[in-house]
């Protein structure tokens, strides 16, 4: 059976798929406390994320599949890293629980909105992007601290509480936004504002 030819527009999705495959070895390296190698994979994953995003936007190689896979790849990497670092007691348990609770709440809200209100279309809020950046920075700092060079305690503490703050903020922002949209949709189902997703 002939294989399907790879088109240039498939390259971003291929890079994203390879990034997903990095999650398992990255998780194993953290649990084995091989932080140098784990940091290398983390950097490679970050570069691949920037590369597939650049290719998709610059050349117009965007797709619905890519829009779905890219945040999944990022979230898998982050959640696995945070869970593993929490398991090793290198991140406080309350922060791990907060991050997981926020993600479960967002997932549950998205599913409920899709099933009960209308088709759900992902549109990350600015505070959610800030939260993702803070989580990435925290994970990178913790791995660097335990694997390469010790970082100041005040820096790690500041990153932990900044991540917690943006996690709470982004979770509350999603609850308010979806609740507001759901109430408007119920009160005014035919309003034109719903056709453009506002």
Residue with tokens 């790849």: 73
User: Is residue 143 over pLDDT 90?
Assistant: yes
Lowest mean pLDDT among 38-52, 157-171, 184-198: 184-198
What's residue 2's pLDDT? Answer: 47
Q: Is pLDDT above 50 for 183? A: yes
Q: Tell me how many degrees the CA angle 198-130-31 measures, rounded to the nearest 5.
A: 125
CA 165: distance to chain centroid? 16
Domain extents in the chain: 8-90, 91-189+194-198
The C-alpha atoms of residue 39 and residue 47 are separated, in whole angstroms, by 12
Per-residue pLDDT reduced to its tens digit, 118-132: 665 666 778 888 998
Angstrom distance (rounded) from CA 154 to CA 41? 26
Question: pLDDT tens digits, residue range 46-92?
Answer: 888 888 777 777 677 666 666 677 778 888 899 999 999 999 999 99
pLDDT-above-90 percentage for the chain: 39
């Amino acid at each position: 059976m002939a294989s399907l030819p790879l088109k240039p527009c498939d390259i971003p999705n291929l890079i994203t798929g390879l990034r997903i495959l990095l999650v398992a070895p990255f998780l194993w390296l953290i649990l084995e406390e091989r932080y140098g190698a784990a940091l290398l994979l983390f950097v490679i994953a970050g570069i691949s994320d920037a590369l597939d995003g650049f290719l998709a936007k610059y050349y117009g190689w965007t797709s619905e599949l890519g829009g779905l896979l890219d945040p999944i790849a990022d979230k898998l990497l982050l959640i696995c890293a945070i869970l593993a670092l929490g398991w090793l007691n290198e991140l406080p348990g309350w922060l791990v629980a907060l991050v997981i609770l926020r993600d479960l709440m967002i997932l549950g809200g998205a599913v409920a909105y899709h099933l009960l209100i209308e088709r759900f279309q992902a549109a990350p809020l600015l505070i959610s992007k800030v939260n993702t950046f803070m989580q990435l920075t925290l994970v990178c700092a913790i791995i660097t601290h335990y694997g390469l060079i010790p970082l100041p305690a005040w820096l790690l503490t500041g990153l932990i509480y900044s991540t917690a703050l943006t996690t709470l903020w982004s979770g509350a922002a999603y609850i308010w936004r979806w609740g507001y949209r759901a109430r408007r949709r119920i009160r005014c189902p035919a309003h034109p504002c719903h056709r453009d997703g506002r």
